[in-house]
Chain A
Amino acid sequence: MDAMGTDEGHRRTKQPLSAALAGPYGHPFHPMLVTVPIGAWVSSLVLDVGSHLVGDGAGLADAARWLIAIGVIGALAAGAVGFLDFLTIPPHTGAHRTAVTHLSVNLSVIVLFAVNWLWRIGDTGPTAAGQIVLSAVGLAALGVSGWLGGRLAYHFGVRVARESDQASGFTEKRS
């Protein structure tokens, strides 16, 4: 049994560990920051494919490599902030298991894209097929992880405002 009790544990996940770093109550920073790696890596894959469709693909391939690096840096920032939210979840719970998987898959994805970046050093011309496959695998894993992140927020309500605060937005106010 959880020593602190289910309600108390759940209540605690709604408050930030540090409002300055993880975002104030009801406005977590982690979901805002994850848009950077997701956007950068999705765009890099689009440019990888594009590098085979234009005359000289080297420019697009180079831009794709830049986007991978931007994504890795953004992911580290998002991960650091996400870790603070992770620490609000009581251990030995279903939400904690989901969060551990979410965290582990995300770390693996960062490593995949870091390796992907290293693989591209010194490349000229369009992106190689193997590198495109590696990016696609990374994005697929990121999709799985994003699903788990969505479960943590929308199903378990981690860092989501209390239901009483949610309901306050639906009180009719007529003058």
Chain B
Amino acid sequence: MDVAALVTWIVTAGFGFSMLTLWVRGGGTRTEGMTATTSHFRPPVVFGHFTIAVIGLVLWIIYLLTDTTALAWIAFGVLVAVAILGETLVIRWARDRRSTNLRRLAEQQIPPVLVGAHGIFAVATIVLVFLSALGVGGS
């Protein structure tokens, strides 16, 4: 169960790295110039989501190495924070997607299939981490 969570976590991170790349390449972090807004995502939210997720992954690996139950719960708490930030991003992404004049936004360069895959693996990771913390399935 806990190793399965590590695998889904790494896969989720892989999709996340691709999404971050598309957002940055689309001009998501550009602030210079007075031209039209390039993104509706606030960089601290994106980078916060990214950083907390990496910290959680590292905590999860330490949990796997040391088998400390408290760490599993901390990792779960971290994941909930990551999910809340991710949720605010995906809600904004989905809302903007409905209007055709916002198609040029940096985050709209991320295809739905990638967002969906990231989300599915993220949910799987949260469920697996929760079950591992509860002690279901053993290590």
Contacts and interface: CB of A to CB of B under 8 A. Distances in A.
A, B: real partners: yes
Interface of A: 17-18, 20-21, 69, 72-73, 76-77, 80, 83, 87, 91
Contact of A73 (B20, B25, B51, B61): B61
A21 B24 contact: no
A98 to B, nearest CB: 17
A73 B65 CA distance: 11
Interface string B4-32: 00000000000001001100110001000
Interface string B71-84: 00000000000000
Tell me what chain A mostly uses at the interface: helix, strand, loop, or mixed: helix
A69 B66 CA distance: 11
Interface in B46-69: 47, 50-51, 54, 57-58, 61-62, 65
Contacts of B29: 17-18
Contacts of A72: 61
A42 B54 CA distance: 24
Contacts of A73: 58, 61-62
Nearest to A72: B61
14 contacts: A17-B24, A17-B29, A20-B47, A73-B61, A73-B62, A76-B57, A76-B61, A77-B54, A83-B17, A83-B20, A87-B20, A87-B24, A87-B25, A91-B25
Counting contact residues on chain B (CB < 8 A from A), the size range is: 10 to 19
B29 to A, nearest CB: 6
Contacts, number: 32
Given A17-B29, A87-B21, A87-B24, A80 B61 contact: no
B58 A76 contact: yes
A77 B50 CA distance: 12
Contacts of B51: 21, 80
Contacts of A77: 54, 58
Nearest to A88: B24
A76 B59 CA distance: 11
Nearest to B64: A69
B21 A18 contact: no
A87 B19 CA distance: 12
B112 interface: no
B135 interface: no
Nearest to B47: A18
B116 interface: no
